[in-house]
Amino acid sequence: MPALTGDAPDKATLRARALRRRRALAGALSPIARDALEAALRDRVLPHLSSATIAAAYHPTPDEIDPAPILAALHAEQRVALPWFAGRDAPMRFRQGPAVVPGPWGMQPSAAAPVLRPDALLVPLVLADRCGARLGRGGGHYDRVLARLREGGPVLAIGIGWDDQLSDEPLPVDPWDEPLDAVATPSAWAACR
């Protein structure tokens, strides 16, 4: 991936650059090419989820890589959880999927769906590095939920994105940033911890 970081720009600058790149990349993909990349990501990630009992993912925006092929390939006894928010300022919880109702951050499961504690979490990326530093949209939702989940026991956090979202250069981190355990793209797997 060409360098996005240059002369150590701040997170906001990196985020804006990476979002523009992600939008351009996703917009340029044909449906066939997109399906092939998402299938390659599925094949790369799925072996690492074999011991998960509850795998959580997200309902993607149009520019994000879709975790649905991964979730569809899970074993029948594995359950799927998706983010759920009671309101814009409420903490992220996970409820059993599918995403069927509008929420403050996009589609989410029904409020009546069971609350679940995932032991594996597919995390959307704006940008990540090979050491597990991640830039998201900037709200801190995933950092807070990962910290809370890790207090209750192990959880495997895998950042997933397009190939251009994996930076070879280190990203800036703050003390509250929760590191990823791995980053996966259609053509790469980076074990981080």
pLDDT in tens, 133-154: 999 987 889 999 999 999 999 9
Helical H segments across the chain, by residue range:
11-28, 31-45, 68-72, 141-151
Average pLDDT, the chain: 93
Domain spanning 11-191 has what CATH number? 3.40.50.10420
Q: What kind and span of H or E run contains 123?
A: strand 120-124
Model pTM score: 0.92
**Per-residue pLDDT at 97 exceeds 90:** no
- 106 Ramachandran zone, left/alpha/beta (phi>0; psi -120 to 50): left
Return the percentage of the chain with pLDDT > 90, whole number: 88
- Numbers of helices and strands, H then E, in the chain: 4, 12
Residue 110 has pLDDT above 70, yes or no: yes
- Closest among 94, 49, 95 to 75, alpha carbons compared: 49
Is omega for the bond preceding 98 within 30 degrees of 0, making it cis?
yes
Q: What is the pLDDT of residue 7?
A: 59
The single-letter code of the amino acid at 7 is: D
Return the percentage of the chain with pLDDT > 70, whole number: 96
User: Residue 162's beta-bridge partner residues?
Assistant: none
Separation between Cα atoms, residue 96 and residue 56, nearest integer Å: 9
Confidence band of 6 (pLDDT split at 50, 70, 90) = very low
Confidence of residue 1 (pLDDT cuts 50, 70, 90): very low
Is it the case that residue 84 has pLDDT exceeding 50? yes
Report the alpha-carbon distance of residue 126 to residue 91 in Å, rounded.
20
**Confidence class for position 8, pLDDT limits 50, 70, 90:** low
